[in-house]
Structure 1
């Protein structure tokens, strides 16, 4: 093991091959317990359709009605725990916000000084599903199930999907992910929500699970404040060919971690007496907040 590599983020030497490939903080002499998802490597891989979740999925970056698993495409992990040999990526204080003209002096902080990585690591809080990639926490209502990870998911009311009884659907689901993970390249919250709603509807209530969407009605298209950020939401009522009709919503807003990162929250609620009321969705939206310990690099644009 070399002792000459300066502190920085490097590929996790303990990566097992499951879930997202993360980076681990090297403090100049040893590997620490601090992990993060590489900002430039947030990817998603669709693993199922319908308003359901698979119980085995732990790391969620999902859509209302569908579940996505963040997964690195670059192959297996590195089982070696040796010190990193490449130059480290900048520390967390120079990864967030500001752009090239932002803070930091560009050095490698080889003396171990300056901001430590844990100051930028979001914490998973009780009663919330925390999206570590986006830096937000979604409240988990009583009786609901929350999943935290590189993306967050909150679901309730599981049942056999109408178009494929081998699949499990849920009566209500709220999921978050960075817009980049959903391949959304629009630059404003309004444009992102407007572009995402059709994909959200199709993933939630389309294809074989519900026989496709026969029509939709726009219920909301409006600005909304979420986690202190100026965002935008679009809500549709969709009519399906098989099974329950539903409500879908795409909500977009700047991440509290960095104002140039957009977060997308996709929701899907069945229209059924056993499904939660839309007022629950409104309450959950109001309750979304910046994840504790995740920094405050966001802020709204003028």
Structure 2
């Protein structure tokens, strides 16, 4: 008669630093971090599923081997009980079914503690060491083809120029690696033209979703504190061949991690009734924080948007 280990949490044979749920016959996909004080049994001796053909025999051999190990441990415990007495045996042995009463795993057990990426109120840019707030009327991006997009307005629409789908608002965060600029002001002033063209002139496929840019004018610029660092921003009002045009901003500041390279955050908002309020540009800037929230209570992070130049 063959025996199998009872259902319970065991060390994962493929990654012993975590525990994995054994349902009595096979491994499941449920994993969890081991409890600090728990005495977790080693993984059951179960071989991987064989290839097609001969599967039943291989599985039977594996289960028989596992049962033999379990029976051997029970017999050893019985010998110790007979030789040393009940009290001494309890100090030297552990019940073979110590994990049998463990609760069936739930979704919360399948992963380690939630990461900051799962927080619905912020978007995490780990590369640059910052988080950006998900304010009312905005969402984390899904199904957006453009690189480095961190925030969008929830609903897309047919672009007014007849080329693809557009969003009324987009926010992009990236490290400024294609320039030698060291000054946030110089970077913002240099980047704004590219930001406007990328947002309202041509898309990544070469289409013209707004029939190109007809004109632009600077409406605001100045120094600003971002995530505790001194930055600078430039904002343009852009008019396009189709649609109401929009507002584009280039915001530059040093990263909070690594080499402290300059970060460029681009904000592009459609103008008109359907576009987000331009004040959301200031709200998003004010809500940028270093990863971990350092400086969140100082009152000075992102709060000193300067006057136009």
Q: TM-score, normalised by structure 1?
A: 0.53
CA 1:134–1:228 in 2, change beyond 3 Å: closer, same or farther? same
2:199 corresponds to: 204
Match of 2:237 in 1: 237
Give 3-state SS (helix, strand or coil) of 2:168's partner.
strand
User: Matched residue of 1:250: which SS?
Assistant: strand
User: CA–CA distance in 2 between the matches of 1:32 and 1:162?
Assistant: 54
- Give the counterpart of 1:174 among 171, 176, 200: 171
The answer on whether the counterparts of 2:210 and 2:242 sit within 8 Å (CA) in structure 1 is yes
Preserved contact between residue 133 and residue 151 of structure 1 (Cα < 8 Å) = no
**Does the aligned pair in 2 maintain the 1:130–1:151 contact within 8 Å?**
no
1:111-149: CA deviation from partner (whole Å, max 9, x where unpaired): xxxxxxxxxxx942431111111111110113421149x
What is the aligned partner in structure 1 of residue 120 from structure 2? 126
Distance 1:142 1:271, change over 3 A: same
Give the structure 2 partner of residue 279 of structure 1. 279
Corresponding residue SS for 1:195: helix
Tell me: CA distance 1:275–1:177, structure 2 relative to 1, closer, same or farther (3 Å).
same
Q: Distance in 1 between matches of 2:217 and 2:137?
A: 30
Contact 1:129 1:152 in 2 (8 A): no
Q: Name stretches of at least 5 consecutive residues in structure 2 with no aligned partner.
A: 1-14, 19-114, 203-207, 295-309
User: 1:238, 1:248 within 8 Å by CA — same for their partners in 2?
Assistant: yes
1:158 corresponding residue in structure 2:
156
Is it true that 1:142 corresponds to 2:170 in the alignment? no
Paired with 1:284 and 1:293, the residues of 2 have a C-alpha distance of: 15
Q: Report SS of the residue matched to 2:292.
A: coil
CA–CA distance in structure 2, aligned partners of residues 31 and 227 of structure 1: 39
| 1:249 counterpart = 2:249 | yes
2:16 and 2:148 map into 1 onto residues whose CA distance is 25
- What CA distance in whole angstroms lies between the structure 1 residues aligned with 2:175 and 2:245? 27
Deviation of the 1:175 alpha carbon: 1.4
User: Does the 8 Å CA contact 1:178/1:263 hold for their aligned counterparts?
Assistant: yes
2:166/2:209 contact within 8 Å kept: no
Gaps of 5+ in 1: 1-29, 34-121, 295-302
> Alignment partner for residue 184 of structure 1, among 166, 176, 179?
179
CA apart distance, 1:31: 11
- Distance of aligned partners of 1:140 and 1:32 in 2 relative to their CA distance in 1, 3 Å threshold: farther
1-side partners of 2:158 and 2:197: how far apart?
18
Is this contact kept in 2: 1:138–1:152, CA < 8 A? no
Cα distance in 1 for partners of 2:149, 2:125 equals 5
SS for the counterpart of 2:162 is coil
How large is the Cα RMSD of the aligned pairs? 2.8
Distance 1:292 1:242, change over 3 A: same
Task: Give me the whole-angstrom Cα distance separating, in 2, the residues matched to 1:32 and 1:153.
Answer: 33
Report if aligned partners of 1:244, 1:271 keep a CA contact under 8 Å in 2.
Answer: yes
Runs of 4 or more above 2 Å deviation: 30-33, 122-126
- More contact order relative to length (CA 8 Å, sep ≥ 6): 1
Partner SS state of residue 197, structure 2: helix
